[in-house]
Structure 1
């Protein structure tokens, strides 16, 4: 959002009134039910397969609603004020997803410990590879700070959480990571299958090194890449390829969150500061997304939520997640409630620690640590908490989160149009970079 001068008045957080909240809840619930009812839709594109899950439908439906309602002239319109509220709710909602991820990490710690040094160090390649290739390209194409969000990782759900908390989704970095997420979700599996299959056919890398490279942190992309690699191996080696790819993907999905937060994001920020003055270009993608406000103009901004607002966002997201489980798996809300309460507790405790420590370490990290400890081998309640958490589907928590993201998209459409084909190309290069970077490091350790 452009800098606001004293001549303009920013809409205060207190003006996130009841009608906007009610409208947001109504549309989010409606989209959620429709998305879950559509379910997963899979279709083949060449040697690969694209799977559109309910979370993708939720994201797209929210965006379509925001664009279509722009022509409405009644109270039902999804106005910019409600869209900014959706962006504000999205940030705390992301922490519930992080808590779920933390519960999964704690239970998987023994398995991760057996993964070996090659699997551990190849994780660095997954994230550094995106920056080395994609960041310079983004700058050469005239993309500005959106390049940070689009290239510090392959832009999956943990990346949304990290950028959402550090910069806010209503930021250039937020638009970049969301554009990367959209591109990777729709085209990522097809691209990585074609690319991985081509690299495997060159016989330059050990197949197991390529398998580790395939674990980019996305289940569909991992399956597509490892399938393309395994198809060129003997039946026995193909099984090992799939096993190593699954282990790598598990590490990327879990421990990778910390790599992203403490290594790749700072590297991307540093790389941007150093490279942008040297190779940065001015293009249509460099244009200011919002004009400067006129004298006396009221400028809408995302409200800053206090504890009560964040608690409301957490409870709303939790309720929606239970509804998703009910529609998709037939799970009674009472069965999923204990695990959801554990996640809510981890979020509240983690956020409180973050506030008490002066926010020196992001809440994303504290929440994941608290949740991880609850299911780790050191927890006397690990088995019971793990059993409760298993009743809450991972995707059922992601779908409400992306529903809020979709409802906030329309206000940023001018910025997405500026990025256009450039962000798609950068996304493909980022995906290629993470695959090759991890494969190179795994090859170095002589898999």
Structure 2
């Protein structure tokens, strides 16, 4: 009897902790949306801090400060690991929304041309062949895979979270790359793109294609720097081709990075690490994460998964109303469609026994609903248009922020090295993609 009582008490405690986590995420996401986007002028350009960035910052603050509290506000390592685990189902919801957008855009991708299609190989070659060797020379270990297999935006978080879990060394690497890109990425790529354009070696249209790295802010910054050095007519072409390139990278790029970039990054790491890998302060980054005994990292129950999806959905609807000024009820149908996509995908994943990653299944199911071959595509797309995909990111990034505290020791060890690797990977992605586009464009 005493044993049963202890088990019930532990279960009640875990449920209370989970409820507290969900409540904190909802509050942080809504507060971040109320703060809204903030533009900071740096003279040569602007940095835009979106609500998702505020959500991550607020989450990190709560997570770090919460480790020192003893009352309700305490946010111990166990909750941090739980936040990192629940980031995976939250990312799947973002993937579903992205898939609904992609399906309707497939005809545009088909007509984009060979130059735009093959520039994706440039992004792949640039990040891995340039960034990964540098990371190994600097002593970064398996974090290098997550940091260099792509430019590390939201879809990359979903892919690594699904394959390795966000509490893994690879998850630590992609999260560090995401933080670096979010804070410095747009500014760096604007400066680098402007410099390369000023050399006059590559066609501005090819450079515009290279600017579509899969991040809206980075694409805008790079294309703006390129267009600023062109005539008004060429500047319009730059904007058009940059947008088309970014569309392809955001659509086909998800599958490209999943089935080509990530496996190649793993193989290249296994080949190069014994040959050029070095031992530095950064080499023990993964082992520096806060450790907690008796915690199964990356686990959550089916009930916790669905509660997370419902919470993220409700908060996303609220954030959408705040950010767009529209009626919250208007985005409910889209969220119901997303939940149906997640339910169907969850069933397919169980049936096929995990032969395909969940992020791929979710994306394919969502794309099918808005593709030209679906008889309800127009209706579903009309529903989807009432929910901005950025509205899904505040609760998602709040979870990421709350999980950061346990990785602070690892981030300190990675330090300037991960920032340098991020810059080099982003520069390589832009430059190599531009060279590939230049070849096919001419």
| Change in CA separation of 1:240 and 1:342 when aligned onto 2, cut-off 3 Å | same
Query: In 2, Cα distance between the equivalents of 1:414 and 1:88?
Result: 19
Comparing 271-280 with 72-81, which one deviates more in the overlay?
72-81
How far has the Cα of 1:331 moved from its partner? Answer: 3.0
Counterpart residue number, 1:8? none
Counterpart position of 1:134: 131
Tell me which of 163, 169, 173 is aligned to 1:172: 169
Q: Decide which of 401, 416, 428 is 2:423's aligned counterpart.
A: 428
Q: Could you tell me how far 1:308 is from its partner in structure 2? A: 2.3
The reply on whether 1:209 has 2:206 as its aligned counterpart is yes
- Which deviations, in whole Å up to 9, do the C-alpha atoms of 1:151-198 show, x marking residues without a partner? 000000000000001000001000100110111011011100000011
The reply to whether residue 381 of structure 1 matches residue 369 of structure 2 is: no
Q: Following superposition, which runs of at least 4 residues in structure 1 exceed 6 angstroms of deviation?
A: 13-16, 291-294
In structure 2, the gaps of 5 or more residues are 1-9
Unaligned 5+ segments in structure 1 are: 1-12
Task: Please state how far the C-alpha of 1:293 moved relative to its aligned partner.
Answer: 11
Tell me the distance in 1 between the aligned counterparts of 2:111 and 2:285. Answer: 49
Is the 1:200–1:207 Cα contact (8 Å) retained in structure 2?
A: yes
State the Cα distance separating 1:289 from its structure 2 match: 3.9
Residue 16 of structure 1: CA displacement? Answer: 7.4
Q: Which residue of 2 aligns with 1:44?
A: 41
Structure 2 residue matching 1:168: 3-state secondary structure: coil
TM-superposed CA distance for 1:115, in Å, is 0.3
**Cα distance change, pair 14–301 in 1 and its aligned pair in 2 (3 A):** farther
Deviations 1:66-100, CA, capped at 9 Å, x for gaps = 11122212232011111111112111111111111
In 2 relative to 1, CA 108–206 (structure 1 residues): closer, same or farther, beyond 3 Å? same
- Contact kept, 8 Å, 2:288 with 2:409, in 1: the verdict is no
State the match for 2:299 in structure 1.
304
Is residue 67–residue 77 contact of structure 2 (8 Å, CA) maintained in 1?
A: no
Q: Is 1:163 the equivalent of 2:160?
A: yes
Instruction: State the Cα deviation string for residues 357-390 of structure 1 (Å, max 9, x = none).
Output: 1111101111111110101111111111001001
Shift in Å, 1:303: 5.3
TM-score, length of structure 2 as denominator length:
0.95
Shift of 1:332: 2.8
Which residue of the partner structure matches residue 66 of structure 1?
Answer: 63
Alignment equivalent of 1:24, drawn from 14, 17, 21: 21
Task: Give the aligned partner of residue 112 of structure 2.
Answer: 115
Higher mean displacement: 151-160 or 309-318: 309-318
1:323: which partner in 2? Answer: 318
Are 2:143 and 1:146 aligned? yes
Q: 1:285 corresponds to which residue?
A: 282
Residue 298 of structure 1 aligns to a residue whose secondary structure is coil
CA-based RMSD: 1.8
Pick closer, same or farther for the CA change 1:287–1:364 going to 2, 3 Å.
same
CA distance in 1 between partners of 2:181 and 2:211 (Å): 14
State yes or no: 1:94 paired with 2:91: yes
> Following TM superposition, by how much is the alpha carbon of 1:301 offset from its aligned partner in structure 2, in angstroms?
3.5
Take 1:131 and 1:215, find their aligned partners in 2: how far apart are those partners? 17
In the superposition, relative to structure 1, how do residues 276 and 236 fare at CA in structure 2: closer, same or farther (>3 Å)? Answer: same
Work out whether residues 109 and 376 of structure 1, in 8 Å CA contact, stay in contact via their aligned partners in 2: yes
Of 355, 359, 369, 1:360 maps to 355
Counterpart for residue 236 of structure 1: 233
Q: What is the match of residue 441 of structure 2? A: 446
